[in-house]
Amino acid sequence: MDKQELNILLVEDNHVYVELIKNTLENEAGYRLTIAENLQKARECLNEKHPDLMLIDFFLPDGLATDLLSGHVDHLDCPVVILTGPGDATPAIHSMNAGAWDYLVKTESALADITHVINRVMRDWLHFLEKKQATDMQQRLMSILEATPDMVAIFDADGFAQYVNVAGRKLLGFSQDQNLSELRLTDFYPVECAKIIRSEAISNAIRKGQWCGETELLTRSKDTIPVSQVLISHFGELGGVAFFSTIIRDISEYKRVQEKIEFLAYHDSLTGLINRTQLHNELEREIARALRHNETGAVLFIDLDHFKKINDTLGHLAGDSVLMQIALALKANVRRDDVVARLGGDEFIIILSGLPIDKAKAAEKAGEIAEKSRQDIAKIIHAESHRIQVTASIGIALFPLLEGGTHELIQHADTAMYHAKAQGRNGIAFYKQGMSDAVSRQLKLEVALRKAIEERQFRLYYQAQVNIGNGQVSGAEVLIRWNHPELGIIAPDEFISVLESSALISIVGQWVFETACYQLAQWVADGIWKDDYHLCINISPRQFRDTDFTAGIERVVKKTGVPAHCLEMEITENIVIYDLDKAIEIMRDLHGLGIRFSIDDFGTGYSSLRYIKRLPVNVLKIDRTFIQDMCTEKDDASIVDTIIAMARHMGLDVVAEGVETQDQLELLKSLGCPNYQGYYFSPPGTADEFKQLLLAA
Ligand X SMILES: Nc1nc2c(ncn2[C@@H]2O[C@H](COP(=O)(O)O[C@H]3[C@@H](O)[C@H](n4cnc5c(=O)[nH]c(N)nc54)O[C@@H]3COP(=O)(O)O)[C@@H](O)[C@H]2O)c(=O)[nH]1
By rule CB under 6 A, what string of x and - marks binding of each residue 191-230 to ligand X?
----------------------------------------
491 is a site residue for ligand X (CB under 6 A): yes
Please state the closest distance from residue 677 (CB atom) to ligand X, in A: 6
Cα–Cα distance between 415 and 407 in angstroms, integer? 12
Q: Which of 492, 552, 616, 685 binds ligand X (CB under 6 A)?
A: 492
512 is a site residue for ligand X (CB under 6 A): yes
Residues forming a β-bridge with 298: 352, 398
Please state the closest distance from residue 438 (CB atom) to ligand X, in A: 20
653 is a site residue for ligand X (CB under 6 A): no
Cα–Cα distance between 321 and 327 in angstroms, integer? 10
In degrees, rounded to 5, the angle at the alpha carbon of residue 580 between the alpha carbons of residues 574 and 586 is: 95
Number of alpha helices (DSSP H) and beta strands (DSSP E) in the chain: 27, 28
493 is a site residue for ligand X (CB under 6 A): yes
480 is a site residue for ligand X (CB under 6 A): yes
Please state the closest distance from residue 393 (CB atom) to ligand X, in A: 21
Residues forming a β-bridge with 483: 489
CA 133 to chain centre: 58
SS3 content of the chain, % helix, strand, coil (to 5): 50, 25, 25
Cβ pair 540, 579 in contact under 8 A: no
Cα–Cα distance between 299 and 409 in angstroms, integer? 7
- Write out the DSSP string of 181-207: TT-BGGGGS-HHHHHHIIIIIIHHHHH
Cβ pair 432, 415 in contact under 8 A: no
Please state the closest distance from residue 497 (CB atom) to ligand X, in A: 9
Please state the closest distance from residue 493 (CB atom) to ligand X, in A: 5
Q: Nearer Cβ to ligand X, position 201 or 590?
A: 590
DSSP alpha helices (H): ranges in 214-358? Answer: 252-266, 276-293, 307-314, 316-332
541 is a site residue for ligand X (CB under 6 A): no
Cα–Cα distance between 164 and 150 in angstroms, integer? 11
Q: Nearer Cβ to ligand X, position 226 or 492?
A: 492
502 is a site residue for ligand X (CB under 6 A): no
Q: Nearer Cβ to ligand X, position 319 or 603?
A: 603
For 519-566, strand residue ranges (E) read 534-538
Q: Nearer Cβ to ligand X, position 395 or 603?
A: 603
Cα–Cα distance between 491 and 272 in angstroms, integer? 48
601 is a site residue for ligand X (CB under 6 A): yes
Q: Nearer Cβ to ligand X, position 295 or 660?
A: 660
427 is a site residue for ligand X (CB under 6 A): no
479 is a site residue for ligand X (CB under 6 A): yes
Cβ pair 353, 297 in contact under 8 A: yes
Q: Which of 51, 91, 427, 678 binds ligand X (CB under 6 A)?
A: 678
By rule CB under 6 A, what string of x and - marks binding of each residue 347-386 to ligand X?
----------------------------------------
Q: Which of 684, 690, 691, 693 binds ligand X (CB under 6 A)?
A: 684
By rule CB under 6 A, what string of x and - marks binding of each residue 559-588 to ligand X?
-----------x------------------
Q: Which stretch binds ligand X (CB under 6 A): 8-16, 42-50, 230-238, 676-684?
A: 676-684
Please state the closest distance from residue 638 (CB atom) to ligand X, in A: 21
Please state the closest distance from residue 558 (CB atom) to ligand X, in A: 21
Q: Which stretch binds ligand X (CB under 6 A): 97-105, 445-453, 546-554, 672-680?
A: 672-680
Of 352, 374, 378, give the one whose Cα is nearest residue 300. Answer: 352
Cβ pair 581, 618 in contact under 8 A: no
Q: Nearer Cβ to ligand X, position 104 or 504?
A: 504
- Write out the DSSP string of 404-453: --HHHHHHHHHHHHHHHHHTTSS-EEE--TTHHHHHHHHHHHHHHHHHHH
- Interface residues with ligand X (CB under 6 A) are 463, 477, 479-480, 491-493, 496, 509, 512, 538, 540, 570, 600-601, 621, 624, 657-660, 677-679, 684
